[in-house]
Amino acid sequence: DTGVSQNPRHKITKRGQNVTFRCDPISEHNRLYWYRQTLGQGPEFLTYFQNEAQLEKSRLLSDRFSAERPKGSFSTLEIQRTEQGDSAMYLCASSIHPPGLPGEQYFGPGTRLTVT
C-alpha cells in the first residue's frame, strides 16, 4: 500500500499525559499537513511542512502542540499535557508541490485520540 499511513490508529490517554502520533506520507510527496477533525465538523488545519520546513502553523494551535518532520519524510505530532478538549481525529495528508493540476491532498486514515 503506497498511501498515507498513520500510527497508532487509536489512542486512549489520561488527561495530563503526553501523546505522539506518526504520519508516513506518500514517498514522493514533499508537503505534509496535519488536520484535526471533531464529530460533525470539517477537518481543521493545524500545520504543514514542505520538506523539513514548517511553513505554517494555525494560530488556534496552543503551545502544547508541536510537530516535526526532521528528515523531510515522516512527521510526528506531539500533544503535551493532554486535555479532554483534545479528543478528536487527527488527520495527516500529503501532496506534491508545485502541483500539476489538481493540487489534491491525500489523506491518511487518521489517529483517533480519546482523552479520559
Q: Which chain residues interact with other proteins by CB under 8 A?
A: 31, 33, 35, 40-45, 48, 55-56, 58-59, 91, 95, 97-99, 101-110
- Cα–chain center distance at 82: 16
- Residue whose CB is less far from other proteins, 9 or 15: 9
Q: What is the DSSP string of the chain?
A: --S-EEE-SEEEE-TT--EEEEEE--TT--EEEEEEE-TTS--EEEEEEETTEEEEE-TT--TTEEEE-TTSS-EEEEE-S--GGG-EEEEEEEE-SSPSSP---EE---EEEEE-
Residue 4 C-beta: closest distance to other proteins, Å:
9
- Residue whose CB is less far from other proteins, 55 or 83: 55
- Residue whose CB is less far from other proteins, 93 or 115: 93
Residue 44 C-beta: closest distance to other proteins, Å:
7
Residue 15 C-beta: closest distance to other proteins, Å:
26
- Residue whose CB is less far from other proteins, 46 or 115: 46
